[in-house]
Amino acid sequence: MAKPEPGSVTAAQNWPQALLLVGCGNMAGAMLGRWLEYGLPPERVTVVRPSGRPVADGVTVMTTLPDVIAPDTLVLLGHKPQQLPDIAPPLEARLGAGATIFSILAGVSTTQLAAVIPQAGAHVRAMPNMPVRSGHGVVSLFVDPSVPAHVRDVADLLCRPLGLVAWLEDEALFDAATALAGCGPAYVYRFIDALAKAGEAVGLSAEIAAHMALATVEGAALTAAVSKDAPGALADAVASKGGMTREGLDVLDRADGLAPLIEATLRAARDRGAELARLAAGPGKA
């Protein structure tokens, strides 16, 4: 289904009546920036951040939680996971009826959220990645099957302007999804940098190599996004037998090449998610 243009009436018609961001770091800020650009009325948004720094025109910024959080507010938890044990009690005490917790805290399960913020009507777990700011991100989502369907619908509509919405049926897979899509952009940036440095090593200037590496990855990603062929088939289509591309692919395809390296990378990120969950649970609660 085609997305409406940013700022259009269609884009703006399904926004929550009240959106409270508890924390507004890089990720939460990227999400909010996209939503505002896409048509979210800024007067519906309140951001709680200790610094009190402005966020955007029309958005209310507070240094502490409001005394009362209006009924049916969607509360986005955008602080550090380790801060949850300190933030949850005062948040729980202020929640109005029907409030939904929308958490982007790495490693924090819906069970943990429900245990520390039971007053909320529903708990949605989400993990976006940084390209959500341009609408080309990925947002992994999970809600318990017992949660009313309209909560899932609201979360789905809220995340569609951000990019691909990936619903997970098993929350146990959340750390794996986060390792792939949430952490993945950083790994792609490292690959771009490595490609540029390799180009420099074989004789190109640093400036030309950097520009070529970025443009090459961008073009390849755009091509893969619109192609009916799998990325592996696209790679084989570029690589003729005995040619330059095939010679390079043979290096990447070694038993100790790219695939096991990326797998080890994702496993390390996934396992860190489990560690973050234990930290967020607090001493003796993991």
Residue 73 sits in a domain whose CATH number is 3.40.50.720
In a domain, 4, yes or no: no
256 or 2: whose pLDDT is higher? 256
In a domain, 250, yes or no: yes
Range 30-48 average pLDDT: 96
Asked if residue 118 and residue 65 are part of one domain, the reply reads yes
In a domain, 282, yes or no: no
Asked if residue 118 and residue 99 are part of one domain, the reply reads yes
Asked if residue 157 and residue 20 are part of one domain, the reply reads yes
DSSP per-residue letters across 227-245? -SS-HHHHHHHH--TTSHH
Is the confidence at residue 40, as pLDDT, over 70? Answer: yes
Q: At what angle do helices 184-201 and 206-226 cross, to 10 degrees?
A: 130
The pLDDT of residue 281 is 64
The pLDDT of residue 2 is 41
Long-range contacts for 39-42 (Cβ within 8 Å, ≥24 apart)? 39/6, 39/7, 39/8, 39/9, 39/11, 39/12, 39/15, 40/12, 40/15, 41/12, 41/15
The pLDDT of residue 1 is 36
Asked if residue 216 and residue 169 are part of one domain, the reply reads no
Is the confidence at residue 9, as pLDDT, over 50? Answer: no
Is the confidence at residue 22, as pLDDT, over 70? Answer: yes
In a domain, 44, yes or no: yes
Asked if residue 153 and residue 61 are part of one domain, the reply reads yes
Q: Give tens-digit pLDDT for 45-90.
A: 999 999 999 999 999 999 999 999 999 999 999 999 889 999 999 9
SS3 190: helix
Asked if residue 104 and residue 85 are part of one domain, the reply reads yes
Domain end among 173, 195, 225: 173
The pLDDT of residue 277 is 72
Question: What does the chain come to in residues?
Answer: 286
Count of the separate structural domains present in the chain: 2
Share of the chain above pLDDT 90, in %: 85
Asked if residue 157 and residue 49 are part of one domain, the reply reads yes
Which range (13-22, 38-47, 189-198) has the least confidence? 13-22
Range 155-181 average pLDDT: 94
Quick one: pLDDT band at residue 200, thresholds 50, 70, 90?
Answer: very high
The CATH number for 235's domain is 1.10.3730.10
Range of the domain at 231: 184-269
